[in-house]
Structure 1
């Protein structure tokens, strides 16, 4: 697959500054990086963003994430590899990514499950990171940004 254009975020320097600020804010609230990366990977899988799914999984592996967890993010409900807090964050990511799929996009039970594990600032960071991931996904999918080829 060939990109339709250079990634829009790299063409507009002010966009890069804004995206970097969102990244920094989301990663500064005390949510474990592994939780944010799981959320990023799951949202990217849902949105079909190969570039983000690839880079996210590779970054997680480099940070020491296990293959068992990486290979089962899409099936997190059916596998034993995730904590209750991670499961709540993954469920929130799925609902917040698929907003048009139901009349009540993020039902109370989903929010309340996440709120059992995360404080308000941490929830703010997770929601911000889901939204930022969806921003990345929409730019990449729309402009057909490919995942890099890795050999070997």
Structure 2
């Protein structure tokens, strides 16, 4: 594991306050902790964020997400029987937004998400996807260490 470059919270605890407010908003809605866990895990897989994978893997399991579903999440398109239509739409949108540089968000992905997430749920899902991407970028950039990780492995 690389040496931590910067501990934002130690230097400026206020820096994360807007992110914490966004998290409070995201978790106050009707998306469900299990779905949020899948979204956070999939974005973190794509972004290669070990810190977030560790944290959100634990959170997803606590929210009732089965280990098998977490194990195959990166290959969810080959295991669609394990994911509801709602979860598939959220995961597909997560991938498209996370990889937005690769052609944007296709209309089919957007339309499926809009169908599965009516009203305020679609903006809330977009905020959840955006937030985890910000967290991933902060953790990867600063080499945020895993909790209770020995200095040398």
TM-score, normalised by the number of residues in structure 1: 0.90
SS in 2 for 1:59: helix
Distance 1:7 1:76, change over 3 A: farther
Which contiguous aligned blocks of 4+ residues in structure 1 show a shift greater than 6 angstroms?
A: none
- TM-superposed CA distance for 1:25, in Å, is 0.9
> Following TM superposition, by how much is the alpha carbon of 1:3 offset from its aligned partner in structure 2, in angstroms?
3.4
Q: Are residues 2 and 126 of structure 1, via their aligned partners in 2, closer, same or farther at CA, if it must alter by over 3 Å?
A: same
Supply the distance in 1 between the matched residues of 2:25 and 2:111 (Cα, whole angstroms).
23
Distance, in Å, in 2 between the alignment partners of 1:73 and 1:52 is 15
Structure 1 gaps of 5+ residues are none
Matched, 1:122 2:140: no
Give the total of aligned pairs: 149
Structure 2 runs not aligned, ≥5 long: none
Change (3 A) 1:69 1:32: same
- 1:17, CA displacement in angstroms? 1.8
- SS, match of residue 30 in structure 2: coil
Q: What are the superposed Cα offsets for residues 20-76 of structure 1, whole Å, 9 maximum, x if unpaired?
A: 110011122211211111101000000000100111111111233211111111111
Aligned residue number for residue 92 of structure 2 = 91
> Is the CA contact 2:4–2:145 (under 8 Å) kept in the aligned structure 1?
no
